[in-house]
Amino acid sequence: MSNTCSKTLREEIVKLKRKKNVIILSHNYQTQEIQGIADFIGDSLELAKEATKTDADIIVFCGVDFMAETAAILNPDKKVIVPSTDVTCPMAAQLSAKLVKDVKTKNPDIPFVIYVNSYANAKAEADVCCTSANAAKVVEKINSDVVFLGPDANLAKFAENRTGKKVIPIPSNGYCYVHKEFNVKHVEKMREKYPDAAIIVHPECDPDVQQKADFVGSTSQMLKFARKCDYDTIIVGTEIGLIERMRREIPDKTIIPLHEVICKGMKLNNLKNLFEALKFESNVVKIPEDTAEKARKAIKKMFELL
C-alpha cells in the first residue's frame, strides 16, 4: 500500500472514529500501521481490562478472534467488530468446549483454569480464566494443590514452576506455533554473540528456552522490563510485532529478535479492512447470551482473584 493511500485511510478512519464514538484496541502483535491508528495497544490482560473501561459505542478489536470474543463477552451492550473474520488462533482451536466439559465431569473437584487464548464456548465450561501475564498468580490464588490449565502446555508448566502446585495441561501437548519456533540453540547463539545483552522470552516458549532466559513474561511484562532494565541490548523471544513496538518506543536501546517469527493470523488485519469494517459496521462479533454469561463468570473470577 502506498504512503498516500495509507494516509488517506488513516484520515478516514479517524473521521469515522469521531463520528461513531469508536475505540480501536490493538494487540502488541499487530502491524505498525494498525498499532499507529489504535487508541490502546497491549497484551491480552491489558486489552481485557481496557475493554471494560471504555465508554465508546463501538469497539474495533485488532487481534485474533478469541480476543474480540472476550471484548464482546465483557461488553454485551456494545458493538464489537473486527477488521477481518479470518484472523483465527490455532492454539485456541486445540481446546474444545467438549474437552473442558469432559475433563470437568471426570474430575469435579479439580479447578479448570483456562487461558484467555481459547474460545468463548470453552471458557463457558471452565472455572476461571487467566492470561500469560497472570497465570501463575491465578493458580496460586486458587484453593487447590492441583489444577488443570489449557490449552498451552508450556504456560501450564510455567505456572507449575512458579507456584509449586501440580498443573495438568489440557490438552497435554497444546502449543502456540509461533513460540514453538524458538529453541535453545537460538538462545545459545545470541548469548555468545551478545554476552552483555538480556534475553527475554514469552511463557509460551518451551521450558528449556525459558530456563536459559534472563526474564520470562507476557508481552506487556517484556515491554516493561525493556523500559526499566539497565541493559543496553535486549534479545526478545516473541512475535515480531512487539519488537517493532519496542524499537519505536524505546529508541535508546538496541532491540534484537531472538529469532524472527510472525503470527500469520495477526497480520491479516490492515488499514483497508479496518476502514471497511468500521464504515459498514460489518464483522460484528456475536456470542450466544447463555455462552457469554457463563464465560463472563470465568473472566470476572480472574479479576476477583488478582
Q: What is the pLDDT of residues 127-162, one digit of tens each?
A: 999 999 999 999 999 999 999 999 999 999 999 999
pLDDT reported for residue 31: 95
pLDDT reported for residue 51: 83
pLDDT reported for residue 4: 61
Whether the Cβ atoms of residue 52 and residue 71 lie closer than 8 Å to each other: no
Residues 6+ apart with CB under 8 A from 242: 28, 29, 219, 222, 223, 236
Residue 186 has pLDDT above 70, yes or no: yes
pLDDT reported for residue 1: 56
Whether the Cβ atoms of residue 69 and residue 285 lie closer than 8 Å to each other: yes
Residue 2 has pLDDT above 80, yes or no: no
Fold that domain 179-257 belongs to in CATH: Rossmann fold (3.40.50)
Q: What one-letter code names the amino acid at 277?
A: A
Q: Decide if 92-176 and 179-257 have a common fold.
A: yes
Residue 5 has pLDDT above 80, yes or no: no
Q: How far is CA 166 from CA 137, 153, 170, 193, 211, in A?
A: 14, 13, 13, 37, 19
Domain boundaries, the chain: 3-87+266-287, 92-176, 179-257
Whether the Cβ atoms of residue 91 and residue 119 lie closer than 8 Å to each other: no
Residue 40's pLDDT band, with cuts at 50, 70 and 90, is very high
pLDDT tens per residue, range 43-62: 877 887 888 888 999 999 99
Residue 81's pLDDT band, with cuts at 50, 70 and 90, is very high
pLDDT reported for residue 275: 96
CATH superfamily for 3-87+266-287 is: NadA-like (3.40.50.10800)
3-state secondary structure of 288: coil
Residue 3 has pLDDT above 70, yes or no: no
> Of 47 and 282, which is predicted with more confidence?
282
Whether the Cβ atoms of residue 16 and residue 275 lie closer than 8 Å to each other: yes
CATH of domain 92-176: 3.40.50.10800
97, 98, 135: which is closest to 113 by C-alpha?
135
Give the DSSP letter string of 167-213.
EEESSTT---TTGGG--HHHHHHHHHH-TTSEEEE-TTS-HHHHHTS
Residue 99's pLDDT band, with cuts at 50, 70 and 90, is very high
pLDDT reported for residue 223: 97
Whether the Cβ atoms of residue 275 and residue 38 lie closer than 8 Å to each other: no
Q: How far is CA 156 from CA 91, 111, 118, 188, in A?
A: 14, 13, 14, 24
Neighbours of 53 (CB within 10 A): 10
Distance, CA of 43 to CA of 266 (rounded, Å): 13
187, 185, 162: which is closest to 237 by C-alpha?
187
Distance, CA of 190 to CA of 202 (rounded, Å): 16
Owner of C-alpha cell 539497565: 230
3-state secondary structure of 28: coil
Q: Where are the beta strands (DSSP E) in the chain?
A: 22-27, 40-42, 58-62, 79-81, 112-115, 128-130, 146-150, 166-169, 198-201, 215-216, 233-237, 254-257
| Percentage of the chain exceeding pLDDT 70 | 99
pLDDT tens per residue, range 188-235: 999 999 999 999 999 999 999 999 999 999 999 999 999 999 999 999
Mean pLDDT of the region 62-75: 93
> Of 29 and 4, which is predicted with more confidence?
29
Residue 282 has pLDDT above 70, yes or no: yes
* Mean pLDDT of the chain, nearest integer: 95
Q: Whole-prediction pTM value?
A: 0.93
Cis peptide before 257 (omega within 30 of 0): no
Residue 284's pLDDT band, with cuts at 50, 70 and 90, is very high
Helix/strand number for the chain, H first, E second: 14, 12
Distance, CA of 155 to CA of 305 (rounded, Å): 18
The CA-CA-CA angle for residues 231, 236, 242, to 5°, reads: 110
Least confident of 41-50, 163-172, 186-195, 253-262: 41-50
